[in-house]
Amino acid sequence: MAITPTFCCGLECGVQGAYTSVNQYHWGLTGTGAFSTTTVRNGTRSFRINPTAGIAYITSSAGIGGARFIIRPAIYFATLPDADTSVATEGTTATNFGLYFKQSDSKLYAGYLVAGVPTFGATGVSVTTGVWYYCDILIDVSDVVTDKVDANINGTAVGQATLASVTGAVSYMQLGCNTTCTADIFYDDVVASATLADYPIGDGYVNHFVPTSDGTHNVAGAADFRRGGTTTDITNSTTDAYLLVDEVPLDDETPDTDDHIRIVAPANVTDYVELVFGPAPGISTPTVAPRAVEVIAEVFAAGTLASDEIIRLNDNGTVADVWNGTAVAGATTGRYKRAHFATAPTGGAWTVVAGAGNFNNIRTRYGYATDANPDKSLMCIMIEAEFAISAVTVGEMMAARQVGGERPPANEQRRQVLAY
């Protein structure tokens, strides 16, 4: 179905740190956890949460806010928690609402946490190790009398959990354990929405896309754009600038020497370097349109004076800002910037092969600056896009996993075949 998402991430970005308005990481880690390249549902990465008699979770404020919020992660238990705990929640200033694991019966429930103690809805869904579950969670704190939590596990609804209304709006999402336990859990294929009608979002997956070729640059002359810290110019005839910013995972916060696109002194505010996106290694070319498109990039500057760089998503000549750094102080360590596009910059639905919203021809432009001090740089840039599960996309998922040397678990293959 069509949805109006606000965020998606397949954990392919591969970087985590505190999310702020200045540094827009997708995730920040509390406790024990790390990106994994061995247990994945799709693509090349997931995130592993593995506390030992402790708490551990990743948190994001990206795309979050409002009185209603939906999140759909995929969850895999390598070791079930040995105590009652959250596995995926969305929080207000007062409490954490979401999906909770009950140790006594090994089931997932809608629930909430008050004073460190989980409360569960009436019915849950049994889970076990070695299986990927896609989990829809709806938090509704819009009612002045009763807050509500609903959840849906692999298409099966659990009992609603309710709580006397608390003050606040949903302001963050957490994946992991917010009460003390020992567990080993993996997360992948996250998408979120603030639109009530989107619930349940249903099964889907997130693939990642990186610059795979140069587009049509608009560079006025010499010393306009350069290859990292070198004196080698990027000109209109350059065909390999994309190799400077195509890292998977994204770079960390430390600026590299020569592997980025540097703005030196553009002659015109219309100058830019254009990059064409394609599937990252091991990912198939899409044959259906995405439901959600998330752009995440890393920028830095040679000094802290006001910058004026802009990153724009280019959809067949219609552009929309990913990041506008005009009059923003430069940062001498990397800073992550993100933007979400539930619809194409042209204003309509995403398509896949032609016309407005053509995802398979999506591009970004970096530049639009005239201030020569400080130099600005684009370190790396990635698109993570969410696709609904269909007979076509099941095939794409399996093909991508086989390219990457991994086949989906047998039970997952059976579930997909039976569903479609």
Tens digits of per-residue pLDDT, 120-136?
A: 999 999 999 999 999 99
| Residues near 49 by beta carbon (within 8 Å), at least 6 away in sequence | 31, 32, 33, 56, 57, 58, 175, 176, 177, 183, 184, 185, 186, 187
State residue 409's pLDDT score: 42
Contact criterion met (CB below 8 Å) for 261 and 234 = yes
Q: What 3-state class would DSSP assign to 20? A: coil
Torsion of CA 105, 111, 113, 118, to 10 degrees: -20
State residue 414's pLDDT score: 31
Please list the ranges in the chain whose pLDDT falls under 50: 402-420
CA angle 367, 384, 6 (to 5 degrees): 90
DSSP state for residue 12 in the 8-state scheme: -
Q: What 3-state class would DSSP assign to 341? A: strand
Closest CA to 164 of 99, 87, 97: 97
State residue 225's pLDDT score: 95
Backbone phi and psi for residue 166, each to the nearest 5 degrees, phi listed first: -115, 160
Task: Find residue 184's DSSP bridge partners.
Answer: 79
Contact criterion met (CB below 8 Å) for 195 and 206 = no
Please report where in the chains the tokens 């997708």 appear, as a residue. Answer: 26
| Candidates 2.60.40, 3.30.70, 1.10.1130, 2.60.120; CATH matching 208-388 | 2.60.120
State residue 79's pLDDT score: 98
| Residues near 418 by beta carbon (within 8 Å), at least 6 away in sequence | none
The token duo for 359 is 């995802």
DSSP state for residue 291 in the 8-state scheme: S
Closest CA to 293 of 237, 230, 341, 334: 341
Contact criterion met (CB below 8 Å) for 84 and 102 = yes
The token duo for 48 is 């592993």
State residue 91's pLDDT score: 80
CA atoms within 13 A on the CB side of 214: 18
Ranges assigned E (strand) in 280-324: 292-301, 306-307, 310-315, 318-324
Q: How does pLDDT run across 31-72, given as a tens digit for each residue?
A: 999 999 999 999 999 999 999 999 999 999 888 878 889 999
Closest CA to 375 of 309, 302, 310: 302
State residue 420's pLDDT score: 30
Task: Find residue 69's DSSP bridge partners.
Answer: 139
Contact criterion met (CB below 8 Å) for 302 and 374 = yes
Helix residue ranges per DSSP H, 271-388: none
Please report where in the chains the tokens 């994001």 appear, as a residue. Answer: 60
State residue 1's pLDDT score: 67
Q: Where are the domains of the chain?
A: 5-202, 208-388, 391-420
Q: How far apart are the first and last CA of the chain?
A: 15
> What's the CA gap between 154 and 136, in Å, rounded?
8
In CATH terms, are 5-202 and 208-388 the same topology? yes
State residue 395's pLDDT score: 52
5-202 topology per CATH:
Jelly Rolls (2.60.120)
